[in-house]
Structure 1
Amino acid sequence: MTPDLWITLVVLVGAVVLFVSEKLPVDVVALLILGSLLVFGVVSPGEALSGFSSPATITVAAMFVLSAGLQRSGALRGVGELLSRVRWPWLLGLLMMLLVAFTSAFINNTAIVAVFLPLVISAVVARGLSPSKFLIPLSFAAQFGGVCTLIGTSTNLLVDSLARQSGQPGFALFEFASLGLWFVVAGVLYMLVAQRFLLPDLGIPDSGADDHRGRYLVELRVPEKSPVIGRLGSVAIPVDAKDVFLLENFRDGRPLAQPRAEAVAAGDRLLIRGDWNEIERVRRDLQLRHDNVARDLDGDPADARLHAEVMIAPGSPLAGKSLAQLRFGHVYRVRVHGVQRSGTQPRLPLDHIPLAVGDILLVDATASALEDLRSDPGVVLIGQREQPRVDGRRALLSLLVMAAAIGVAVLGWMPIVASSLLGCAALVVLRCLRPEEAYAAVDWRVIILLAGVLPLGIALQKSGGADWVAQHALGWLSGYGPLVTLAAIYLLTALMTEVMSNNAAAVLVVPIAISTAESMGVDAKPFLVAVAFAASTSFATPVGYQTNTMVYTAGGYRFSDFPKIGIPLNLLFWAMAVILIPRYFPF
């Protein structure tokens, strides 16, 4: 054993211990690996820094930015509204997993879960269901879909980069798809069964501290093609709506004599009272609209819209006057979506109600408009939160840019790293993202991790460490044939990725898999596929994969919930991998 081999093995063992113990952040461990190999001369400065210029690292960073364009424009919010309309829990779970699996094949799965997490919670709570029945399936579905394409997860890109560095041919953009679809189908079917029998029902959580609490008086306009048109007022509100009541129906500015006995028509304005969250659900289901008052209140489309609660203060000059008399919307540059008042409820159009001390107005505004309100002594700003919305222009452009970046790579016109970088530039040029938003969208910890651990793969190959580990750790299996070795490599990777970063596990096993294949005289590609799939599907612990960690707290799960549902799924995927990988990637 050469000194370089000893040093590489010591660094390898130290890296495994630090990754598993989590005493240091994974990006710091990656930099320690890089620095150690460089200081001891195992790799050259160029090789040590090659991870920062690796196509895998750059492509992952670019995909973070492309995903942010879709996330910030609200392009996926329509999906959340679709989910909120599904009545049957099994169908809601099925649609959610299929949508998440499909989108995560093209968009970073961590970003997908970040987008879908609040949407799924609001959709299931609106149906009186427990989020704990849906959030683990959300995380797992993102992993199912991520293995279907080269860009679905950073691990796939990393395996491809390591393979190319070792002289292997690498993978095409959709080369994983035919195999990945089997995993998606099997995973979704398993989760539909597990959702009922294995996932805990932890109940419906209380509304968060930033929810709009209390009962609001809201005026909603009935647009053309709304499903409420033609219904009698007595049945206009869905029967499953809790604490939502129709008080009046204004037509041509006048209240109907019997609002509950007459049919709703396009252009009517419905005065509704009830819980805000329930009103919002009814509004989406019936496709009703808040009054936009005037287009000049929209402000810059790039600015985030906020919902805020504004109370009329004692001694306020606003008391006794209506919103119309005050020209409240134009003066303060806000739109009033609801009024909360204790006691007798007025049955007037929203902008004709005389304001009283203690009234709480729920307003839609930009951050700058709220700052002006905050400085007005006549009102008290008592709460605010960002309002989810869809920017149609930016959403369409973001979708087109993402489709173009993937399309030109599929057609072979340019490498995915080039098309994704051009896509990032296009998002900024088209003002779908500001430059600072693009930089903020990149998870630099992942980038540092990738750049820092790639030199370890080079060191394992260069020093002979991969050959040594392959000979001593897997060499005894070679007599049983490549299929048994494939099973061992998949299982080794799956176990490692449950206790350390999936990217780190892939970097450690890929060189070993390549050396094992070379020693057996077989194609390395089946072993590389096994590493990619095993490292990208971690189900048995909440810390084995980023998406699991995201839903762990949000769903209120216990640690034991993950192995109970995840270990059988890991074993299922292991058996499928052993059977299917050689069929699509022969030895």
Structure 2
Amino acid sequence: MAIEAIGLAPSTLIFMILALTLVAFIWGRFRYDVVALAALLSSVLLGLVPADEAFAGFGHPAVITVAAVLVISRGFERSGVVDIIAAQVMKAGERLLLQLLALVGTVVVLSGVMNNVGALALLLPVAMRLAREHNTSPSLLLMPLAFGSLLGGLTTLIGTPPNIIISTYRGNITGENFSMFSFSPVGVAVALAGLAFIVLLGWRLTPKRNSAAGAADMFDTANYLVELKVSEESRANGLTLQQLRDELDETIPVLAVVRDDNRRAGYSFHGVLKQGDILLLEAGPEELQLLEDKAGLSAVAELEEDDREEDERAAKNADKASEPAKDEAIDTEGLQLVEAVVRSGSMMINRSVRQLRLNHQFGLHLVAVARDGGRLKQRLRDIRFQTGDVLLLQGSEKEINDSLSSLGCLPLASRELHLGQPRKLALSLGIFALAIVSMLFDLLPAAVAMSTAALVSLLIGVLPLREGYNAIDGPVIVLLAAMLPVGEALETSGGADIIANSLLYFGAEWPVVVSLCGLFLLCMLLSNIVNNAAAALLMAPIAVSLANGFDVALEPFLMAVAVSASSAFLTPIGHQSNTLVLGPGGYRFSDYWKLGLPLSLVVMVTAIPVILLVWPLSG
């Protein structure tokens, strides 16, 4: 009805919707799940998707499987399975090649059995620790680590959402899904080739950025750590720290209050300021002038670099004498500071400190923000956070990890390794193994097997129920559920056939393998500007139409889409793993293609022959 009223062909309408969707994905102004939902509803209103099937995607096996895998991945983390592995990675030593081999090799293996973003998030703090302990630039480690997580996802059905999507898509057409390890021959070959390239040569193509090596360098704390004294005439006299912030209309990162030679951390000081109190804080020249003019606070003395280092060494030695040794992000005279990176999908994105009520609601003080490897100089209250921002925060040691988790931030290098309980560790592995066996012998479909494993993990206490819900990445689930009907509309409207016929026309004089390579390249480019799941959903019907047009087997074309959709190595926006290392590595947008382009060629040159060997065109 709607289509007839507009007077345009269904294929034309779906092309218009997809074009606008791609533009919105690239623009990045709206989150990808919102864009996908808008594309779905537009398709429904235009009659391309039946209204009663609009939200069928939320019950699709691919969506259920992805959600279950996310829960199981969090269970691995909670039970200590991954921490045992991470503890071994820390023994890599100071040779860069061994560090790369240990880190990238480990994340490749982990990404095959758990969510690849989760695997990266667990090893990112380990990489930061290695970089700092051995004076290695983290930029040499983090991009290879992110790319390794993508390579590892290619190896199994549950390694990455595109594999799950392609498996269920094949099932809808042929009645037979790809199994758990159907992707392994091609995926393992590609992962090994990529790993060898990265470790032996590729790391040399990454920039060496020393500024992001540690908090002291990234945030330049030595130049900004100052003491301000409260005088009798000071406006701050008689005010609490929060009242002082309200008076100044400014977010003041007070690290500590010193009174009668006793120092209390700023986050735990709730009394009123008195004459003679000394505020220890981070402030630049503009902030210092503001504090002097509006609050009457005068600088006692800026801490000299040599004195600060001597004080830090003394404080660290005292701490070591009274407490067990532990890894800390930075110890500024014993203050509890932590670095954290803003993850994709964090509630902080595009919001300010005041909107988040960071202090009142989460008990955190924002000290500084770094972006693109350098500290932001603007006023803290004016900063709107972005994915990949690295934050220097102060908070209670007992509560800071929970607060960061709620905010959607990943702590860097301050994360301690917890080996978990042996019983839960064995249970977690046993549950996962049973799920895999049930899938291998076709006892249960992947969605049912993984969902059962996730449910049992929750019931027996491997993972608390609340963490189970938190583990499910809502935006990814909405993206998948919304784009599935849109992808089907591309097929039912005839749009997929139009694209496939164009490719058939240009490839008519060439061998079929040339068109297969063209499909691979097209999907790989698309995955660098849109979510990999969206790329797989859009390219799958085109792959099927191509295979039918050439009258060859369906499987090689679907496998090409599965591999290429997860090979987003050219940009930081192509995959969450790439975005996650952007800030900590101090990378720029243009840094990614320098390693990503040759790695993409390695992937393609390896994948196409193996695909044709394992899944011949003749079927």
Q: Which TM-score applies when normalising by structure 1? A: 0.70
- The alignment of Structure 1 onto Structure 2 pairs a total of residues equal to 451
Q: Call closer, same or farther: CA 1:418–1:350 in 2, change over 3 Å.
A: same
Q: Call closer, same or farther: CA 1:557–1:344 in 2, change over 3 Å.
A: closer
Is contact 1:310–1:382 with CA below 8 Å preserved after alignment?
A: no
Aligned mate of 1:27, from 33, 37, 41: 33
Residue 341 of structure 1, CA deviation: 9.7
Aligned to 1:160: 167
Aligned partner of 2:444: which letter? M
Aligned to 1:392: 421
1:293-323, Cα deviation, whole Å (9 max, x unpaired): xxxxxxxxxxxxxxxx99998598xxxxxxx
**In structure 1, distance between residues paired with 2:334 and 2:152:** 45
Aligned to 1:57: 63
Is contact 1:93–1:192 with CA below 8 Å preserved after alignment?
A: yes
- DSSP 3-state at the match of 1:42: coil
Is contact 2:132–2:214 with CA below 8 Å preserved after alignment?
A: no
Aligned partner of 2:190: which letter? F
Q: Call closer, same or farther: CA 1:208–1:399 in 2, change over 3 Å.
A: farther
Aligned partner of 1:192: which letter? V
**In structure 2, distance between residues paired with 1:411 and 1:421:** 17
**1:101 and 2:108 equivalent?**
yes
**In structure 2, distance between residues paired with 1:151 and 1:42:** 31
Residue 436 of structure 1, CA deviation: 1.5
**In structure 2, distance between residues paired with 1:537 and 1:522:** 25
Residue 102 of structure 1, CA deviation: 0.9
Aligned mate of 1:568, from 578, 583, 598: 598
Aligned partner of 1:516: which letter? L
1:528-543 aligned within 5 A: 528-543=558-573
**1:48 and 2:66 equivalent?**
no
**1:14 and 2:14 equivalent?**
no
Residue 443 of structure 1, CA deviation: 0.6
1:449-488 aligned within 5 A: 449-488=479-518
1:199-255, Cα deviation, whole Å (9 max, x unpaired): 2222274643899xx9xxxxxxxxxxxxxxxxxxxxxxxxxxxxxxxxxxxxxxxxx
Backbone CA RMSD of aligned residues: 3.5
Is contact 1:129–1:204 with CA below 8 Å preserved after alignment?
A: no
Aligned to 1:176: 183
Residue 454 of structure 1, CA deviation: 0.5
Aligned partner of 2:73: which letter? S
1:535-569, Cα deviation, whole Å (9 max, x unpaired): 10111111111111111111111222211111111
Residue 2 of structure 1, CA deviation: 7.2
Is contact 1:128–1:204 with CA below 8 Å preserved after alignment?
A: no
**1:405 and 2:405 equivalent?**
no
Q: Call closer, same or farther: CA 1:170–1:310 in 2, change over 3 Å.
A: same
Which structure would you say has the larger Rg?
Answer: 1
Q: What percentage of residue pairs aligned between the two structures are identical?
A: 32
1:380-429, Cα deviation, whole Å (9 max, x unpaired): x9852546342224333323322332232223221121111111111211
**1:506 and 2:536 equivalent?**
yes
**In structure 1, distance between residues paired with 2:197 and 2:425:** 33
Is contact 1:311–1:361 with CA below 8 Å preserved after alignment?
A: no
Residue 169 of structure 1, CA deviation: 3.3
Is contact 1:132–1:555 with CA below 8 Å preserved after alignment?
A: yes
**In structure 1, distance between residues paired with 2:315 and 2:532:** 58
**In structure 2, distance between residues paired with 1:455 and 1:347:** 58
Aligned to 1:581: 611
**1:80 and 2:68 equivalent?**
no
Aligned to 2:151: 144
1:152-174, Cα deviation, whole Å (9 max, x unpaired): 00111112222333346331110
- DSSP 3-state at the match of 2:177: coil
**In structure 2, distance between residues paired with 1:348 and 1:175:** 52
Which segment is superposed worse, 503-512 or 475-484?
475-484
Which segment is superposed worse, 107-116 or 176-185?
176-185
**In structure 2, distance between residues paired with 1:543 and 1:531:** 19
1:104-503 aligned within 5 A: 104-167=111-174, 169-203=176-210, 205=212, 207-208=214-215, 314=260, 350=322, 384=397, 385-386=400-401, 388-390=416-418, 391-393=420-422, 394-503=424-533
Residue 505 of structure 1, CA deviation: 1.4
Residue 437 of structure 1, CA deviation: 1.1
Q: Structure 1: 5+ residue runs without aligned partners?
A: 215-308, 317-338, 352-358, 363-373, 375-380
**In structure 2, distance between residues paired with 1:112 and 1:200:** 23
Q: Call closer, same or farther: CA 1:555–1:340 in 2, change over 3 Å.
A: closer
- DSSP 3-state at the match of 1:554: coil
**In structure 1, distance between residues paired with 2:565 and 2:469:** 27
Is contact 1:80–1:120 with CA below 8 Å preserved after alignment?
A: no
Aligned mate of 1:526, from 547, 556, 577: 556
Residue 344 of structure 1, CA deviation: 13
Q: Which TM-score applies when normalising by structure 2? A: 0.67
**In structure 2, distance between residues paired with 1:554 and 1:396:** 34
Aligned partner of 2:117: which letter? T
Aligned partner of 1:107: which letter? M
**In structure 2, distance between residues paired with 1:438 and 1:186:** 35
Residue 180 of structure 1, CA deviation: 1.2
Is contact 1:83–1:123 with CA below 8 Å preserved after alignment?
A: no
- DSSP 3-state at the match of 1:78: helix
Q: Call closer, same or farther: CA 1:477–1:72 in 2, change over 3 Å.
A: same
Q: Call closer, same or farther: CA 1:166–1:8 in 2, change over 3 Å.
A: farther
1:420-472, Cα deviation, whole Å (9 max, x unpaired): 11111112111122222111111110000000010112112212221122112
- DSSP 3-state at the match of 1:71: helix
Q: Call closer, same or farther: CA 1:340–1:209 in 2, change over 3 Å.
A: closer
Residue 12 of structure 1, CA deviation: 2.4
